[in-house]
């Protein structure tokens, strides 16, 4: 990614520029076995602060399993996953999902996971409440601190819904949203946990070309607005090639290629892996 030279002087501006290239996530030779199957095998990848990186590969290649390893759904069988926040680097491999979320990794799911009977607003509020600044006592007795925090949570949730073009549907039941809107709500919920690294698992799945194009612009604007690093799994190659700065290609659990979209597109192993697939790399 081309980072602009710092314009303003002062500690905040120079600190931002200094941090831009640092490694945020480092996956080192990670393997995950399910019985006799290695879903992910000896995978290494890095994401630097502010990068938008794609993780692509044919069906069953191991992409979602990588996300499940990064978010604590499964511990790695072997290897290390290091994540840096506030100058602190920790091995998060095998850490509980809520701790990884609190450390700054947010995600969406390939199979949409919403509270379908709750309102759109409540879906975001619940995700945000993971980090509420009041205790059980305040919640039970509705203290002034509780009320203040509640007002802030509603305000911030509505702001996120506005950014995701869902503000006018805040009161609707999640199950009544269109498929595309449900995917937007998933992203709003992930943002509500205040991640520094956002993992998106096929955010354009089921969307028509117009919706996909709108989502593509939205993802790049979210990165700027929230100073995010993003790792994106996506089968829609027009989206991937348009916005990702770097790509990793998985096939049968192994990284077979990595580099810029142009390098990856021309890589013989990638062409071979996609032969017989519908995707036009």
Q: Which of 177, 166, 24, 162 is nearest to 105 (CA)?
A: 24
Using CB under 6 A, list all residues that contact ligand ATP: 34, 37, 39, 57, 59-65, 110
Euclidean distance between CA atoms 280 and 246, whole angstroms: 18
Identify which range of 62-70, 129-137, 142-150, 158-166 contacts Mg ion by CB under 5 A. 62-70
Instruction: Assess 16 for contact with Mg ion (CB under 5 A).
Output: no
Euclidean distance between CA atoms 179 and 204, whole angstroms: 10
| Shortest distance in whole angstroms from residue 64 CB to ligand ATP | 3
Spell out the alpha helix ranges (H) of the chain.
11-19, 63-70, 97-103, 120-128, 136-141, 144-163, 179-192, 209-226, 237-243, 261-266, 268-274
| Shortest distance in whole angstroms from residue 102 CB to ligand ATP | 24
SS3 21: coil
What contacts 96, CB < 8 A, 6 or more positions away? 72
| Shortest distance in whole angstroms from residue 34 CB to ligand ATP | 3
Nearer to ligand ATP, 9 or 59 (CB): 59
Nearer to Mg ion, 64 or 157 (CB): 64
Q: Which of 172, 165, 168 is nearest to 188 (CA)?
A: 165
| Shortest distance in whole angstroms from residue 62 CB to ligand ATP | 4
For 70, 72, 113, 230, the CA distances from 107, given in Å and listed in that order, are 10, 11, 11, 10
Q: Which of 269, 231, 235 is nearest to 46 (CA)?
A: 231
| Shortest distance in whole angstroms from residue 252 CB to ligand ATP | 9
Question: Do 177 and 120 contact (CB within 8 A), yes or no?
Answer: yes
User: Binding-site residue total for Mg ion (CB under 5 A)?
Assistant: 3
Nearest-CB residue for Mg ion = 64
Per the structure block, which two tokens stand in for 41? Answer: 């095998």
Nearer to Mg ion, 64 or 71 (CB): 64
* For helices 209-226 and 179-192, angle between their N-to-C axes, nearest 10 degrees: 10
Taking CB within 5 to 8 Å according to partner kind, which of Mg ion, ligand ATP, none is near residue 238?
none
Q: Among 110, 119, 129, 165, which residue interacts with Mg ion (rule: CB under 5 A)?
A: 110
Q: What pairing do the DSSP bridges indicate for beta strands 197-201 and 105-107? A: parallel
Identify which range of 34-42, 107-115, 163-171, 270-278 contacts Mg ion by CB under 5 A. 107-115
Taking CB within 5 to 8 Å according to partner kind, which of Mg ion, ligand ATP, none is near residue 125?
none
| Shortest distance in whole angstroms from residue 158 CB to Mg ion | 31
Nearer to ligand ATP, 12 or 73 (CB): 73
Nearer to Mg ion, 32 or 125 (CB): 32
Nearer to Mg ion, 32 or 63 (CB): 63
Binding residues vs Mg ion (CB under 5 A): 63-64, 110
């Amino acid at each position: 990614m081309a980072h602009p030279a710092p314009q303003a002087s002062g500690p905040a501006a120079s600190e931002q520029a200094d941090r831009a290239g640092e490694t945020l996530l480092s996956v080192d030779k990670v393997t995950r076995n399910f019985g006799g199957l290695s879903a992910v095998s000896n995978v290494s990848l890095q994401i630097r602060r502010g990068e938008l990186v794609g993780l692509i590969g044919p069906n069953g290649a191991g992409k979602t399993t990588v996300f499940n390893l990064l978010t604590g759904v499964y511990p790695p069988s072997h290897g290390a996953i290091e994540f840096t926040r506030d100058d602190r680097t920790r091995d998060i491999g095998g850490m509980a999902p809520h701790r990884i979320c609190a450390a700054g990794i947010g995600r969406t799911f390939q199979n949409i996971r919403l509270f379908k009977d709750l309102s759109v607003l409540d879906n975001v509020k619940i995700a945000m409440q993971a980090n509420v600044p009041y205790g059980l006592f305040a919640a039970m007795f509705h203290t002034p601190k509780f009320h203040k925090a509640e007002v802030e949570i509603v305000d911030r949730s509505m702001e996120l819904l506005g950014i995701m073009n869902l503000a006018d549907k805040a009161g609707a039941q999640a199950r009544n949203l269109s498929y595309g809107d449900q995917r937007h709500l998933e992203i709003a919920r992930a943002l509500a946990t205040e991640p520094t690294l956002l993992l998106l698992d096929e955010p354009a799945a089921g969307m028509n070309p117009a919706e996909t194009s709108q989502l593509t612009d939205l993802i790049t604007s979210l990165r700027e607005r929230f100073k995010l690093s993003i790792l994106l799994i996506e089968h829609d190659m027009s989206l991937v090639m348009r916005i990702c700065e770097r790509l990793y290609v998985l096939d049968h659990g192994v990284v077979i290629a990595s580099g810029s979209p142009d390098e990856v597109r021309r890589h013989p192993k990638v062409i071979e892996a996609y032969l017989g697939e519908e995707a036009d790399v």
